[in-house]
Amino acid sequence: MSKFNSIFATKEFLEKVFEASEDGTAIVDTLGNILAVNPAFANTYGYSKEELENMHISQLAYEEDLGEGFLEKHSLQLNEKGGIKLEEVINLKKDRSKIFVEISYTLLKDENGDYFCGLVIARDISERKRLEKDLRESEDKYRNLFENANEGVIIADRNNRIITLNKRAEEILGYSREEIIGKPTTNLMPVRYQKTEESAMQRTFTTGQTGTYGKTFEIEMVRKDGNEIPVEATFSVLKRGDDFTFTLIIRDISERKQLEARLIQSERLNALGEMASGVAHDFNNLLATILGRVQLIKLKFGSYQGQERRTSTKYLVEGLSIIEKATTAGAEVVRRVQEFTNVAADTQNLHEIHINDLIKDVIEYMKLHWKGKADARGETVDIVSHLAPTLPPVAGNPSELSEVMTNIMKNSLEAMPDGGTLSLDTSLDDGLVVLSISDTGQGIPKEVRGRIFDPFFTTKGPQRMGLGMSVSYGIIKRHHGDITVQSEEGKGTSVIIKLPVAHHTREKKQATALPRKEKKARVLVIDDEEGIRKLLCELLETVGHDVTVASDGEEGLKLFQDGPFDLVFTDLGMPGISGWEVAQEVKRLNSLTPIILITGWGIQVDDEKKNMHGIDYVISKPFNIDQVTSLVQEELLKTSRDKQATG
């Protein structure tokens, strides 16, 4: 140990340590005159060693720091304690530029215990001070951005409690910082979201992952006053080691939602106006035909006498046929409007359909429909098909899909007034059956291409309603398919339909032939419309049934209790007791009595709803006479079989 002490005490060793130190080091006398400096000290201040060794230590200080009593104060502390440390002072380099330094000043004693010199160590901390300044400025900048952002910002800790929020979040939610900091974020969520929110936070805490990270979505949040407001929110997670913070950025979209609602309402009103105009146009024509024909028949029959009256039967039948056609056309207009508005969505009669077979049937129909017109105009129209040989079936309603194809093919044929080629191609693409119907016609102008599926939009003049493509669009969408149009003016049009492959559907069953011999039945008819009551009564009595009528549900149920009745017809929409309630009560009284629901609303009732209310069959107004009489016989046979099975 003495050997090492003697080495450490040598002048050579101390000089080497002094020279090699990375901290600037100077030796001064008791008055502060610099006696020696190491290279690091000289580099720190930009002087040479020789220049510094002729200076006083105070010459390196910043003049403004050398205020009254500065040196005396620190000299006193130095003498009392034998050393001082100044953590942040400004010194001047040779070029008079400022630097920040940390200085330690230590007095050294001789063998007698007297101070004989001082050791000054100076460390340049200018870079650290610059970084600290930059950091403060950066923090101030982002704090300013945070506070003055147009979006609300909410930051929560790993326990889902709010750490802070900015001014905009306070404005959106109606809370002050003091009121909401430390509270769980679920306080800002409607009750229906709270459990989901807690689960999502826990999952993020456990796994470090979130399904909504970085995504923007729309939710409702609860203000301090209890009102819900729609917001657009972006959620993110910041992980620091094992800790998390959650950031929610929110934008109040109340005004946007109100504007959207007004725009939707405006669009609905525009569509309603167009629909009303189109329906009024067609119905006025139909009613004019019906009214005129009825008045003409009355006029002519009033003038007939004797033999003329007997021989006028042919004219009467012809007139009634015209009225029947006009009425049927009116029902078709209503059906098409209901198709467009999706009222008559029939999803209960989907079957496995081989689209190629359906196309062949439609082509044959269209050839018969179009050939006479084409020949009369001297046109040559070729209808060709390229059908994929091994195409799986689709789930659909064959009559509806046939109507779609017919509508599109009619449009295509009308787009080729000078003749051309109509092509139908099928293929399988990614689990979808694809049908393409293309023509070589005039094409669709760019300015109207986007309105093809709009209701009542047509380029064929006021004589056409313009419902074909909008109805087709509704049908394909109800079949969970897609329909698009590709067209270029002068180069033809292609309509592409994609339908999903059928899964777990049933093959279409052939209708069971009804026996010709009709069974007589006691029938109860309940309808608040006198005309419908009389019509059904006369119709059913004409084919041999006993009929009792009621003008509302209450009267009908009283009559049924006094029964018995083999069958009940009930209107759906009646004042007081509705058709649903009538059906349920009838089934409660006699579960075997068939109930036929009559509706003018064009609704389709699925099997679940029919069973729930005890409905056996639904018919829509206007109805066909054969449909009613056949249905009565079918239900009577079914009831007879059920009684035999339970007997």
How far apart CA 180 and CA 173 sit, in angstroms, is 10
Mean pLDDT of 559-585: 88
Task: List the single range of 24-38, 307-321, 340-354 with lowest mean pLDDT.
Answer: 340-354
148-157, 195-204, 403-412, 512-521 — which is least confidently predicted?
512-521
Instruction: Flag whether pLDDT at 3 surpasses 50.
Output: no
How do beta strands 152-157 and 243-252 pair?
antiparallel
CA 457/CA 448 separation, integer angstroms: 9
116-128: average pLDDT? 86
Strand partners, 26: 37, 120
- Which amino acid is present at 196? T
Which pLDDT belongs to residue 198?
A: 66
Long-range contacts of 109-115 (CB under 8 A, 24+ apart): 109/82, 115/30, 115/79, 115/82
Q: How confident is the model at residue 512 (pLDDT cuts 50, 70, 90)?
A: very low
User: Pick the residue with more confidence: 206 or 219?
Assistant: 219
346 falls in which pLDDT band (50, 70, 90)? very low
- What's the pLDDT score for residue 617? 85
Average pLDDT over the chain, rounded to whole?
Answer: 76
Q: What is the largest CA-CA distance in the chain?
A: 163
Contact indicator for 12, 25 with CB cutoff of 8 Å: no
Provide the whole-model pTM: 0.37
Q: Residue 250 and residue 246: Cα distance in Å, rounded? A: 13
pLDDT tens per residue, range 532-552: 788 788 888 888 889 999 999
- The mean pLDDT value for 500-526 works out to 61
Average pLDDT over residues 202-224: 68
Which pLDDT band holds residue 555 (cuts at 50, 70, 90)? Answer: very high
- The CA distances from residue 454 to 287, 331, 333, 606, in Å, are 26, 21, 16, 28
- Residue 462: the pLDDT is 38
Peptide bond into 564 cis (omega under 30): yes
* Amino acid sitting at position 428: L
The predicted pLDDT at position 559 comes to 93
Q: How much of the chain exceeds pLDDT 90, in percent?
A: 7
